[in-house]
Structures are given as C-alpha cells and as structure tokens.
Amino acid sequence: MLAATDDVSALMQYTSNRESQYEFGYARKNRAPGIYDLYPWSTSAMIMSMMGSYGDGDGDGDGDVGNINLKQETAHNISDGGNLYHMMPFNAKLALDHHRQGWRNSIEMQFVDGKSDVQQIRNELTTPAYILLNARTGYTYKNLTVDVGLDNLLDKQYYQPLAGVNAGDYYAMSISMPDPGYRNNRNLPGLGRSAFIGFTLKY
C-alpha cells in the first residue's frame, strides 16, 4: 500500500528599492516510494543500458533496482535568492526579410549565450554558446500559400539551455561502456539541419 505525503513551502520577499530585492524561502518535500522503487527491475547490463536507465528501475539516475523496505523520505530546502533554476541565458534573433509581390524570403541568425549560472544543488548542466542560421521562403497565389524552409542551415551541433538531460544516450549513461570522449554527454543535443514545407489555404 502506498503512503500519503504532505508538503510545505513558504516564501518571503522584500524590495528595498527599484534595483534591489531580497528573498528567503523554505520548503519541505515528502516522497513516498512508488511501485518502481519498491519492486525489482532487471539488473542485466544489456537490458538496462538499452533502456537508458542502467542499474535504475525508475530511470531517475539514483541507481536503485527495487527495495520493498524503502520508507518515506523527507527533504528540507532553504533558498536565499541564489542562482535561479532553469533560466534562459541572453539570446537574440536577427532576421533579414524580403517581400516582392507574392514572394516572402527570410534569412535568420539566432544567437544564444552560454549558460553558466546554474544551481549546483540540482545538478543543473551548463551549455556552450551557439549561433544558428535559418532560411525560409514562401509564395502566395490567390488563396494558397506555400512555405519552405531550412533550420540549422550549417548543421551545427548545439545544446539548448533548457532542453534537459539526455537520459536515453547509451554511451553517456552506460556504466559498463562509458565514452569519456563524448562531449557534453548528458545534455540533450538540438536538432541538426532540418527542412520543412507547409501549405496554407484561406477560404
């Protein structure tokens, strides 16, 4: 039988002037073990690596494979206004648009700064800066519009700051066959060069 839990949180904020704000918070989180924590899963190296959760039945990376004797856990957290969690770094888009009769063309540059202000306590990952080039064109004839485009025109490898952890990467998560040369092996890579086509009919 699964146990019920109760959580508590409190937050105080004080703004002394337009440039300064102070914050203090407290949170208590209770977590009862679920079915994936309590009951065993396979410990086979091949099976667990294929699942992207090696040695871990519930996929949260803490290494458990089931323990019927697990008890409720209680965590206390105090915040003092440090680095905010899951924040997008500085980013900007610059586009050059061209319109002539029914044609619409655009070249876009997207810049995203590196993410270095992270919360260590949550194992938040840093990401490097990157620049992407996108291109699109479209033509409208009467009530029909056709759009064609290419995103990540130069096929650049990049990691979106808010994309999360790549828990399904075999070499990144495997214990038996880790790849130490795999750069940023826990960040989720962004899309490579991708094409799209769209049709819009107005009536």
> pLDDT digits over 162-178, tens only?
987 776 665 555 555 55
Burial zone of 112 (CB within 10 Å; 0-12 exposed, 13-18 middle, 19+ buried)? buried
At 189, the amino acid letter reads: P
Q: Angle 162-168-171 (CA atoms, 0-180°, nearest 5)?
A: 110
Same domain for 127 and 66:
no
pTM, rounded to two decimals: 0.59
At which of 44, 65, 82 does a domain end? 82
Q: Give tens-digit pLDDT for 79-114.
A: 665 667 788 899 999 999 999 989 999 999 999 999
Give the range of the structural domain holding residue 93, as residue numbers without chain letter: 85-203
The number of domains in the chain is: 2
